[in-house]
Amino acid sequence: MKYLATVNETTFEVVINEDSYVTVDGQRHEIDFRAVGNGPLYSLLIGGNSYEGHIEGTDDGWQVLHKGDLYMVEIEDERSQRLMKLGGAGIATKGDYYLKAPMPGLVVSVPVKEGQEISQGDILVVLESMKMQNELKSPHDGTILRIQVNPEDTIQQDEVMLVLSPLDDQ
Amino acid sequence: MLQKVLIANRGEIAVRVIRACHELGLRTVAIFSEADRHAMHVYYADEAYSVGQAQARDSYLNIEKILNVARVAEVDAVHPGYGFLAENHEFAQACIDAGLTFIGPMPHAIAIMGDKVVARSAMRKAGVPVVPGTEGESSLRDEEIVAIAAKIGFPLLIKSAAGGGGKGMRRANDQSFMINALSEARRESEAAFGDGSVYLEKLIQGARHIEFQIMADNHGNVIHLGERECSIQRRHQKLLEEAPSVVLSDDIDLRTSMGEVACLAAKSVDYVNAGTVEFLLDEDRNYYFLEMNTRLQVEHPVTEIVTGVDIVKEQIRIARNRRLSRKQHEIELKGWAIECRINAEDSYRDFIPSIGTINTNIVPTGPGVRVDTGVYPGYTISPHYDSMISKVICSGKTRGEALLRMRRALEEYRIVGVKTTIPFHQKLLNSHRFMAGQFNTSFVDDDFSLGDRSDTDDEIAAVFAALAAHQYRQQAAHVVQRGERDTSNWKWVGRWERMHR
């Protein structure tokens, strides 16, 4: 079974066909993967190294706590990839970046305009939440396609605030 | 008689105060906003009353509603915690007017220390060294300020008179920055505190933030409980504190002198109860009064550990008109304590807050570990209040032992559901400059980098998730074929489908 695991914007191809081997991006590793007790704690021995991970499934994907760091991993399997292709969901995957609100809050300012070219790290939206002003920055160079919020708007978590298209699309 | 205490706060500090009250056999009354019905302080208190909407100004900042609860619940005293109304002199006065004991200083002391400009001039008069800067009034016009700036010398800081937490603060490297920086600082200060007054302070380069814990009773006794080192800050927010300070632990004379000055500062405003005098300590070991916090501090536990004084219980004792339980010469700093503030923030993405439900919360334990928290598994971090999840406090005989213990404790800590600042602290504890104690207030902002998350760890996380997903899928498929699970097959199918929605 082939899985695409996306974590921190990097996608790994993980192939699992037998119990004691995985192939990650074409590289085959010997593994021993065990649940520790009945809980969400797992032990992974891979190429002699021992790792401990705390894994929980959520509606949005898998959360893996590994060495104190929490990773959000999206898993697609072959079937969902096939469905995506069949369903023509490819339109959304052209590379447009949808800036979603990471938390509910109040839009303080939107220091960019539609059509504006921006560089990686530019501030797209300033969102006030949890007593702080949070600067949401652009993950890459691109052009602002659409802005869907205005200053003073109260927005919900995961609401799309702005759409960015990568430069090479232009 | 003081028998029942209302805690005008929420989260971990409300829990901390409730614990002290219960140890003293006092009844406790919690208040909560609509967003906090399921907060831990509500469960721990003997009584709990709603004070309104989630927005702090409708609930935790609403003096009228809080005093109404105090009346209905027939409490004798109010503990304000930190933040919210803790440094609001009108609230302290309103409590007194309602016949309640305010567990804190008198309103006039809060008012003097609350206006940073007034506080500076009061301290100068009392003979306490202050950071060189504007003297006198805060209502100076821009031209006047620019003229004074040249005399003070650059670089300097423009600060909000009403300020705190770095809001309304701007740095000016030379004259050309002044006009812009002034208007920005005024605007930000006006927005945050409703007061655009600013003042200037010379920027002390390479300074450490050292603060002294003060305790004062109603009988004229004022002592200090030694210092805390709080130089590990990001954008003026403290992230890690320790007691004692590396610098003062090998310069006892300096500690004595700073401690005496801190007590002098407190006496000059007739201070009672617990308070903290903050200093900047420059590279030549000159120190300057920065401000006084007229309340319990977030980082009070490190002092409790090295002195053995339960500061919250001592606060209540003072409010009961008793004398301080210890004299200055009985205060001895033993061992070392470090506190890490664990916030629901993504260390790798500019410390952006992380909202969500904590599914797993396994708190570190074992020798020398204390965790003050207000969360539990199933608790949802809401966007209405600050992002602190807990404080991990580790102690040891030496700084080295405390540090290694903290490293071990953070490894044990398991929080799943939201991102936390644990990775930041882990990297910090591993940095050589932190280990060597060679840092100042600009260390985290200027000289420390989390670095990029390594690709290997991303890959391991990806493999973990893929294996878990694979196992889950197999189990689900299995269950549909043969009914050998003890849980209902329908439940399994439901979960399976949810995963793939």
Chain A contacts in chain B segment 227-256 (CB below 8 A): none
Do A98 and A79 lie in a common domain?
no
What pLDDT shows up at residue B16? 98
pLDDT tens track for B124-168: 999 999 999 887 665 778 888 888 888 888 999 999 888 776 778
CA distance B31 to B345: 26
Pick the closest to residue B315 from B296, B298, B292, B287 (CA basis).
Answer: B296
| Chain B CB within 8 Å of residue A45 CB | no
Q: Which residue of A has its CA nearest to B426?
A: A68
**SS3 assignment for B295-353:** CCCCCHHHHHHHHCCCHHHHHHHHHCCCCCCCCHHHCCCCCEEEEEEEECEECCCCCEE
DSSP string, B371-416: EEES--TT-EE-TTS--EEEEEEEEESSHHHHHHHHHHHHHH-EEE
CB within 8 Å: B352 and A136: yes
CA distance A152 to A147: 14
Residue B262 sits at the vertex; the CA angle it makes with B12 and B288, to the nearest 5 degrees, is: 100
Tell whether the model's pLDDT for residue B293 goes beyond 90.
yes
Pick the closest to residue A101 from A161, A15, A12, A40 (CA basis).
Answer: A161
> Mean pLDDT lowest for which of A94-108, B216-230, B374-388, B397-411?
A94-108
CA distance A113 to chain B (A): 23
DSSP letter at B443 equals I
Tell whether the model's pLDDT for residue B390 goes beyond 60.
yes
Do A98 and A81 lie in a common domain?
no
CA distance B458 to chain A (A): 6
Do A41 and A75 lie in a common domain?
yes
Has the ipTM of the complex gone over 0.90? no
CA distance A157 to chain B (A): 9
| Chain A CB within 8 Å of residue B422 CB | yes
Nearest to A54 among B355, B360, B411 (CB): B360
- In this structure, the number of other CB atoms found within 10 A of the CB of residue B486 comes to 5
Q: Which residue of B has its CA nearest to A71?
A: B461
Question: Which range has highest mean pLDDT (A59-68, B325-334, B444-453, B461-470)?
Answer: B325-334
- In this structure, the number of other CB atoms found within 10 A of the CB of residue B195 comes to 16
Residue B159 sits at the vertex; the CA angle it makes with B153 and B162, to the nearest 5 degrees, is: 150
CA distance B50 to chain A (A): 21
Residue B260 sits at the vertex; the CA angle it makes with B255 and B266, to the nearest 5 degrees, is: 125
Q: Is A168 exposed, middle or buried (0-12, 13-18, 19+ CB in 10 A)?
A: exposed
CB within 8 Å: B465 and A71: yes
Do A101 and A156 lie in a common domain?
yes
Do A53 and A76 lie in a common domain?
yes
Contacts of A64 in chain B (CB under 8 A): 461, 464-465, 468
> Mean pLDDT lowest for which of A49-58, A129-138, B461-470, B471-480?
B471-480
Out of A63, A85, A107, a domain closes at A85
Do A53 and A99 lie in a common domain?
no
Question: What average pLDDT does range B372-392 have in this prediction?
Answer: 93
Torsions phi, psi for A60 (to 5 deg): -95, -5
| Chain A CB within 8 Å of residue B57 CB | no
What pLDDT shows up at residue B348? 85
Question: What average pLDDT does range B481-487 have in this prediction?
Answer: 53
- Annotated catalytic sites of B, by residue? 295
pLDDT bin (cut points 50, 70, 90) of residue B480 is low
Domains (range + CATH), chain B:
4-103 (3.40.50.20), 132-202 (3.30.1490.20), 208-447 (3.30.470.20), 456-499 (no CATH)
Do A128 and A62 lie in a common domain?
no
What pLDDT shows up at residue A91? 43
The domain tally of chain A equals: 2
CB within 8 Å: A24 and B352: no
Q: Which CATH number goes with the domain that contains A127?
A: 2.40.50.100
CB within 8 Å: B384 and A130: yes
The number of helix segments (H) and strand segments (E) in chain B equals 17, 22
pLDDT bin (cut points 50, 70, 90) of residue B478 is low
Contacts of B355 in chain A (CB under 8 A): 102-104, 129-130, 157
Tell whether the model's pLDDT for residue B180 goes beyond 90.
no
CA distance B199 to B119: 12
Do A32 and A75 lie in a common domain?
yes
Q: Is the Cβ–Cβ distance between B403 and B338 less than 8 Å? A: yes
Out of A42, A61, A85, a domain closes at A85
Q: Which CATH number goes with the domain that contains A15?
A: 3.30.700.30
Out of A50, A85, A120, a domain closes at A85
- In this structure, the number of other CB atoms found within 10 A of the CB of residue B496 comes to 16
Q: Which residue of A has its CA nearest to B409?
A: A68
pLDDT over 70, % of chain B? 95
Structure tokens at A43: 């032990």
Question: What average pLDDT does range B355-376 have in this prediction?
Answer: 94
CA distance A104 to chain B (A): 6
Pick the closest to residue B90 from B217, B82, B98 (CA basis).
Answer: B98
Q: What is the mean pLDDT of each run of 10 residues along chain A (170 residues)?
A: 90 90 93 84 89 86 87 85 59 69 87 91 87 82 91 87 75
Residue predicted with more confidence, B241 or B148: B241
Structure tokens at B25: 């056999």
CB within 8 Å: A5 and B462: yes
The pairing of beta strand B222-234 with beta strand B208-216:
antiparallel
- Domain of residue A39 covers 2-85
Q: Which stretches of B45-88 are DSSP H helices?
A: 63-72
Interface test with A, best of B464, B470, B486, B500 (most A CBs within 10 A): B464
* Alpha-carbon torsion (B99, B100, B103, B109), positive or negative: negative
What is the amino acid identity at position A3? Answer: Y
Determine which helix (DSSP H) or strand (DSSP E) holds B225, and give its type and residue range.
strand B222-234
CB within 8 Å: B360 and A40: yes
Do A9 and A73 lie in a common domain?
yes
Do A17 and A44 lie in a common domain?
yes
Do A73 and A100 lie in a common domain?
no
What pLDDT shows up at residue B276? 98
Do A79 and A126 lie in a common domain?
no
Q: Which residues of A83-116 are buried (b: 16+ CB within 10 A; e: fewer)?
A: eeeeeeeeeeeeeebebebbbbbebbebebeeee
| Chain B CB within 8 Å of residue A100 CB | no
CB within 8 Å: B360 and A65: yes
